[in-house]
């Protein structure tokens, strides 16, 4: 193990922590859940928010980063999902803890909806219709907030909703939700892979991220995303690992947003380069892209989040069984309680075809849900 330590922070730090370990770094993880495998990959973990509301608390992040900066061998910190909602955290400038990622100014450029969609129009890149005034006819329109992530901020447009600086309305676009994971150095890029996103309703929320499949082989879509990134990377000075979300409909890509930080789909491409994606991210932030294209094992890999079907508690027997399974991740501790709709864990699978992969993921998720709701039967 290297003497260097990286700090990873976000809503959910396990993918970052495990990728950092792949690079040979020690890890300090800051997230909401502190799951068993996140802690196993880390030398230290701290909470930076409220898991039940899926909310990062900035007042917890700054002191946690300051404490991490005092540890020996720390080389910097990497912002994961959820931090983009608080770009001021990227401006802390903590001595001894450089940000290994895009600056706050760069993140604001990417996430400010007016300038982003104006740029897409100027570059001739296709996207669903967007307006910043409440549509007169609300049917067929979505209300979004550019500070959100994971689809938790997306709702059907309503006459009762106020519109702030980060809010906008987007016409509902038919198609398959997808993303392009890429690595950029400010001018050039490497496309890591295309992913099919699993987006489903959760409670009253219609479009919540549940997981992903990848890498998806589609030469026509790949060419369109290559063309888009050839323009967007230098125009926005994108650096590091990031993802471009889009809808695929009748062979055409309709661009939605850029997530200017490592995304959850990095889990599907862990072997893209020796040393892992987080090492490649740090090098790209410094201006160096890999010489070779990414490597992918045959077939598809997938992950699916298991949300609690109703209020429940993880028994010690279930916690132990989940920990023994190589296909379960983000492992909850014994006696952890979950309200209906809270994420419990993730399951993974691999297969040659998307239908078989989805079926395997659904089967494993159903097994976890059954065990949650029938603890006596499971323990027996």
pLDDT digits (tens, 9 = 90+) for 226-277: 999 999 999 999 999 999 999 999 999 999 999 999 999 999 999 999 999 9
Segments making up each domain of the chain, as ranges: 5-100, 108-285, 300-379
Contact between 85 and 149 (Cβ < 8 Å): yes
The tokens describing 347, both together, are 């399951």
Q: How do beta strands 176-185 and 189-202 pair?
A: antiparallel
117-126 residue pLDDT tens: 999 999 999 9
DSSP state of 99: B
More confident residue, 205 or 354: 354
Q: How do beta strands 337-338 and 312-313 pair?
A: antiparallel
Distance CA 362, CA 14 (A): 22
Give domain 5-100's CATH number out of 3.40.50.20, 3.30.1370.60, 3.90.1720.10, 3.20.20.70: 3.40.50.20
User: What single string gives the DSSP state of each residue in 278-341?
Assistant: HHHHHHHHTT---SSPPP--SSEEEEEEEE-SSSEE--HHHHHHHHH-TTEESPPPTT-EE-TT
CA atoms within 13 A on the CB side of 158: 6
Contact between 218 and 195 (Cβ < 8 Å): no
Residue 149 has a pLDDT of: 80
Contact between 76 and 7 (Cβ < 8 Å): yes
Residue 380 has a pLDDT of: 47
Distance CA 308, CA 372 (A): 8
pLDDT of 113 > 50? The answer is yes
DSSP state of 274: T
SS3 assignment, position 246 = strand
Contacts of 351 (CB under 8 A, 6+ apart): 299, 300, 302, 357, 360
Say how many Å lie between the first and final Cα of the chain, rounded: 41
Residue 80 has a pLDDT of: 96
Residue 231 has a pLDDT of: 98
Contacts of 262 (CB under 8 A, 6+ apart): 15, 16, 19, 78, 80, 81, 240, 241, 242, 277, 278, 281
Residue 378 has a pLDDT of: 57
Identify any residues that bridge with 375 across adjacent strands, giving them in sequence order. Answer: none
Distance CA 177, CA 175 (A): 7
- Percent of the chain clearing pLDDT 70 (strictly above): 98
Domain spanning 108-285: CATH 3.30.470.20:
yes
* pLDDT confidence tier of residue 153, bands split at 50, 70 and 90: confident
Residue 159 has a pLDDT of: 74
* pLDDT confidence tier of residue 161, bands split at 50, 70 and 90: low
Contact between 253 and 228 (Cβ < 8 Å): yes
**Under CATH, which number does the domain 300-379 receive?**
3.90.1170
| Cis peptide leading into residue 204 (ω within 30°) | no
Residue 185 has a pLDDT of: 97
38-80 residue pLDDT tens: 999 999 999 999 988 889 999 999 999 999 999 999 999 999 9
* pLDDT confidence tier of residue 375, bands split at 50, 70 and 90: confident
302-358 residue pLDDT tens: 999 999 999 999 999 999 999 999 999 999 999 999 999 999 999 999 999 999 999
More confident residue, 214 or 54: 214
Compute the residue count for the chain: 380
């Amino acid at each position: 193990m290297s003497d260097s330590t990286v700090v990873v922070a976000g809503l959910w730090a396990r993918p970052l922590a495990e990728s950092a370990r792949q690079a040979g770094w020690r890890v300090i993880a800051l997230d909401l859940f502190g799951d068993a495998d996140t802690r196993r990959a880390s030398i230290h973990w701290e909470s930076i928010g409220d898991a039940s509301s899926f909310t990062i608390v900035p007042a917890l992040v700054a002191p946690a980063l300051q404490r991490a900066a005092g540890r020996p061998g720390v080389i910097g910190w990497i912002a994961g999902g959820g931090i983009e909602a608080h770009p001021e955290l990227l401006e802390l400038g903590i001595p001894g803890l450089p940000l290994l990622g895009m600056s706050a100014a760069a993140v604001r450029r990417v996430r400010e909806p007016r300038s982003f969609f104006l740029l897409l129009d100027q570059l001739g890149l296709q996207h669903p219709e967007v307006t910043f005034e409440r549509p007169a006819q609300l049917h067929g329109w979505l209300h979004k907030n550019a500070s959100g992530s994971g689809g938790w901020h997306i709702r059907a447009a309503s006459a009762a909703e106020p519109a702030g600086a980060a809010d906008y309305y987007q016409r509902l676009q038919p198609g398959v939700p997808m993303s392009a994971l890429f690595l950029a150095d400010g001018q050039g890029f490497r496309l890591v892979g295309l992913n099919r996103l699993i987006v489903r309703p959760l409670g009253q929320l219609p479009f919540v991220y549940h997981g992903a499949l990848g890498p998806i082989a589609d030469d026509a879509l790949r060419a369109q995303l290559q063309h888009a990134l050839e323009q967007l990377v230098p125009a926005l000075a994108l650096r590091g690992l990031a993802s471009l979300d889009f809808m695929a409909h009748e062979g055409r890509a309709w661009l939605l947003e850029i997530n200017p930080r490592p995304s959850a789909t990095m889990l599907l491409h862990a072997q893209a380069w020796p040393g892992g994606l987080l090492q490649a991210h740090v090098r790209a932030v410094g201006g160096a892209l890999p010489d070779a294209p990414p490597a992918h094992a045959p077939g598809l890999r997938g992950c699916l989040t298991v949300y609690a079907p109703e209020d429940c508690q993880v028994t010690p027997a279930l916690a132990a069984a989940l920990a023994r399974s190589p296909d379960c991740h983000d492992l909850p501790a014994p006696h952890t309680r979950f309200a209906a709709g809270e994420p419990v864990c993730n399951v993974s699978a691999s297969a040659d075809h998307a239908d078989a992969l989805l079926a395997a993921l659904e089967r494993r998720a159903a097994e976890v849900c059954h065990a949650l709701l029938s603890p006596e039967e499971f323990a027996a």
